[in-house]
Structure 1
């Protein structure tokens, strides 16, 4: 009897434990955006097209990393310059084990296991290549081919995606999904030099221009029509400084969108402006299949501008050109239909995993901030913070559309909000809007005035960081009441931080001297000044400057001679005159342009003069 009862109970237990019909997986919306302005929805994406999903896991200790970043970047803090190691930074952004486990289980439920995945060193990013059909199943979504109205480029995207409820809190974002950006270079003017030999001779014999802050108080008159290495050295008080080149200092330039830096053009530039650098070159590091083709007809104006001036100004400091492959456009009938994320995330992955990145890195590429999902912008910005904590200074061009989008032509600017309301709004750029990078605006002529295309304004994503409060509040207080009310966010991170010359730069392109401009000239110019300052500090046994902004704003308040204040000019856009340059910080030239001589004394004497 006892045996019968036991067997009966066992059968009941097994029956109750037997698996029934699988419970449906309940998804919860992770992101849902309006149809993006400037893009037309086409047909469904090919189900067998391959996309690489990038899954961001939460970084629960990022606030602690941010605390460290600000302490080691504040010139008046006892920890100033005590940058974190790569291992220390990675430890502060590593996800909670539960997040890693939950995401692993979700991926495994779709047949994706460890061998299929690529992880960042901190395990806060997971990458996996999947067909569109599987991505749609995983995220309960539908991908379409979207066409850009301006250039006809196409990308595979969706405007809404979800993840299972139990996964929702363990994932910050997944891309490519809602990212409708158009990464582009910032060179806005491009023309063959037209100065005649007679005109050049006339300028060469004209008396120099008196500028009290310049080296020797004088700048060659020719700098009003052509900017050269000598002009920058004179104007920013850097004549005569000779960097070591052997103290561990290093400068980097990023290149995207098949912009190739030409070695032969570099030698022509050196022969013309920096003869002592002749026969020297730079290291090329390809990322994600990046190339640097060397036929003259493939030389890139953006890449040549950035490398010729940055590497000419900082010679003999070791230098690297990072050429990153991949670009957002997707061509449905391509032989290998693979759609990528924005390529600067591939560069960021690489440089964060580098044990010894350059102390100074300049980038002249950006997107309209509103085309970048907030979750993605915040996560990429956090990556820049990680570099800053490790002692890397990052400069970005502030943009070439004034207060409008990156389009330098006011007639075709699209100054409408991308949030479904379609209201007129100033358009800042990202990454310059990230508070952990230094945004560089532009000037022109001698004495300097703001160049009218200089990007500036206020972020709609990032709030104003504390290091900007005093300087930016003074600017806002001076604006006439109601000026551009509703067109910008006065509580946002303010752009730019600083400025430098941005037009009439003489470079060599495909063997020909040309004149070119844009804040793409200003960013590598300012980065070069920072690299020279780093050289002086490293030679004196001091650490690199790292994340610059807390230092820059502190110096403007305590040592105003460190910057040349720009008070003339404005940056029109969106059918308005834009903002005016004014005394102190302004939303077109920031704190002003650098005075290297003063800055060098400050950074060598612990900021006390």
Structure 2
């Protein structure tokens, strides 16, 4: 008799607004990926403590060294393969460096293997998906070996954080727009084009048209960068022709990075919008030995409460690997203010709330000539969007945020009880947005979605100029005073801007030259 153990953190409840609409076909084939524990976890934790403290003696690991010392143990991979065989499952891919094994089989085989029941659900806003409730079970052999089983459930996990400028006139202030190079100049980015670097961009749907990119870069007088599409788990570059859909996100990200760092290669990792797809795509980018991105930009996410704790833990461990490799990960903090669109109190967006990423919030920017005349928190009201920000309920206060407080809209200060979001900010209001070309249409876009690639392009320029990766930048940015333009006006609902760090704009928007000097 095989003893089964519940997999910690794998519990799923029926999401509010979801209902079962049918049974899954037991013969339908699906793919599921299994994340394994890290070898030498204690040594890895010690390394991470040094990285978090900003220890200058720590050099980035090579991808080869990370795989050898801190990948999955061959014995653990063998155990998963034996388990798969016993349940009639096929091993599609094993990646010890990324600590993952991809399995393929029928719904019936997976239900039996992991002790779950899969059903078709419908949700009023996300449509139909395959879901489950309760916990996933693993046998004795895999207890403590397997950290996450992802893909049994394929509910949409994240949303893109961009906002197309609405057709109506704003109540106050006039509409303006900027090209990404204009913003790079206003934010005093150091000169350069990111030559020799690779920026990875994660996309959970949509696609880009090469014709859009060519026309756009030509209109700015910028050389077209090399853009590579990398398909992950059946994901591929599939433009829908709708600029309001995921195409808007994909094209915005590429056009911002490409126009500020045209010398860098841009690798776009396309995947499915599920926790499995999202985590696997970031893992593939982090462990990519072909393109070797030194910076990764992520403009998708969802409220922390939407994630299972096994997904948060698995995703966070991939982001730890990025920090160990010296890969900077820039993530949008969300476009729905302090509630993150959750409808229930204050929430922050994940993966922006991971302590191993640079969380990027949003501002509303006014310029006069070549300088910034006014910059406040981005908050265009309930319909127009506002910067995400607040205090994590999933992660404790990181060492580099010790002693900081959040400021509430009524002026009260509260010491941080968890990871504070965001770390930094940049122009995000569609009213003062980015002029881009999407699906043949010239349009103005905002959202914290634009801020992650803006910071990623800055880091690419800095990396190219210094000849080494900036790596995990947070400890250095928090230690160096005055490298960001401090934003002290505005709020995102529950939280207000204040001198120094705040839960709307973090440390502020970039002064690129000063950021380069600090890194």
1:94 maps onto 2:71 in alignment: yes
Change (3 A) 1:97 1:108: same
Q: How does 1:65-80 map to 2 (within 5 A)?
A: 65-72=44-51, 75=54, 77-80=55-58
Deviation at 1:194, TM superposition (A): 8.2
Paired residues, number: 495
Q: Is the 8 A contact 2:53 2:399 kept in 1?
A: no
Q: How does 1:266-345 map to 2 (within 5 A)?
A: 266-272=213-219, 274-277=220-223, 281-293=226-238, 300-315=247-262, 317-328=263-274, 342-345=276-279
Bigger mean CA deviation after superposition, 66-75 or 139-148: 66-75
Match of 2:85 in 1: 108
- Secondary structure in 1 aligned to 2:61? coil
Deviation at 1:527, TM superposition (A): 1.4
Distance 2:225 2:147 in 1: 45
Distance 1:97 1:515 in 2: 50
Alignment equivalent of 1:225, drawn from 168, 173, 176:
176
CA offset digits 1:69-105 (Å, max 9, x no partner): 4535755x3414x110112212343345654454444
Alignment equivalent of 2:210, drawn from 263, 270, 293:
263
Q: Which has the higher helix share?
A: 1
Distance 1:68 1:404 in 2: 34
Q: Is the 8 A contact 1:159 1:177 kept in 2?
A: no
Q: Is the 8 A contact 2:295 2:328 kept in 1?
A: yes
Deviation at 1:473, TM superposition (A): 3.7
Distance 2:133 2:139 in 1: 17
Match of 1:554 in 2: 479
CA RMSD of the aligned region, Å? 2.9
- Secondary structure in 2 aligned to 1:460? coil
Q: Is the 8 A contact 1:179 1:372 kept in 2?
A: no
TM-score normalised by the chain length of structure 1: 0.75
Deviation at 1:347, TM superposition (A): 1.4
1:464 maps onto 2:397 in alignment: yes
Change (3 A) 1:325 1:146: same
1:429 maps onto 2:365 in alignment: no
Match of 2:359 in 1: 439
Distance 2:505 2:123 in 1: 32
Q: Is the 8 A contact 1:40 1:146 kept in 2?
A: yes
CA offset digits 1:207-243 (Å, max 9, x no partner): xxxxxxxxxxxxxx99x7112234313321137x233
Change (3 A) 1:570 1:119: same
Distance 1:251 1:281 in 2: 11
Q: Is the 8 A contact 1:508 1:514 kept in 2?
A: yes
Deviation at 1:165, TM superposition (A): 3.8
Deviation at 1:545, TM superposition (A): 0.3
Deviation at 1:586, TM superposition (A): 0.6
Q: Is the 8 A contact 1:191 1:516 kept in 2?
A: no
Change (3 A) 1:295 1:168: closer
1:366 maps onto 2:301 in alignment: yes
Q: Is the 8 A contact 2:426 2:508 kept in 1?
A: yes
CA offset digits 1:470-525 (Å, max 9, x no partner): 3x24759x9627x8xxxxx9422111111011122111123222111111111111
Match of 1:202 in 2: none
Q: Unaligned 5+ residue runs, structure 2?
A: 367-373, 380-385
Distance 1:523 1:461 in 2: 22
Distance 1:294 1:155 in 2: 24
CA offset digits 1:547-593 (Å, max 9, x no partner): 121121112xxxx2211000011112xxxxx1001111111100111
Deviation at 1:536, TM superposition (A): 1.8
Q: Is the 8 A contact 1:44 1:142 kept in 2?
A: no
Q: How does 1:164-563 map to 2 (within 5 A)?
A: 164-177=139-152, 180-191=155-166, 225-238=176-189, 241-243=191-193, 245=195, 248-257=196-205, 259-272=206-219, 274-277=220-223, 281-293=226-238, 300-315=247-262, 317-328=263-274, 342-355=276-289, 356-405=291-340, 407=341, 413-415=342-344, 425-446=345-366, 447-452=374-379, 453-470=386-403, 472-473=404-405, 480=412, 490-503=416-429, 504-538=433-467, 543-555=468-480, 560-563=481-484
- Secondary structure in 2 aligned to 1:46? coil
Bigger mean CA deviation after superposition, 374-383 or 43-52: 43-52
Q: Is the 8 A contact 1:454 1:519 kept in 2?
A: yes
Distance 2:466 2:288 in 1: 22
Alignment equivalent of 2:100, drawn from 125, 129, 141:
125
TM-score normalised by the chain length of structure 2: 0.87
Deviation at 1:448, TM superposition (A): 0.7
Deviation at 1:320, TM superposition (A): 1.4
Match of 2:109 in 1: 134
Distance 1:83 1:165 in 2: 36
- Secondary structure in 2 aligned to 1:394? strand
Deviation at 1:283, TM superposition (A): 2.9
1:28 maps onto 2:5 in alignment: yes
Q: Unaligned 5+ residue runs, structure 1?
A: 1-23, 196-220, 329-340, 408-412, 416-424, 484-488, 573-577, 604-609
Distance 2:459 2:119 in 1: 44
Match of 2:369 in 1: none
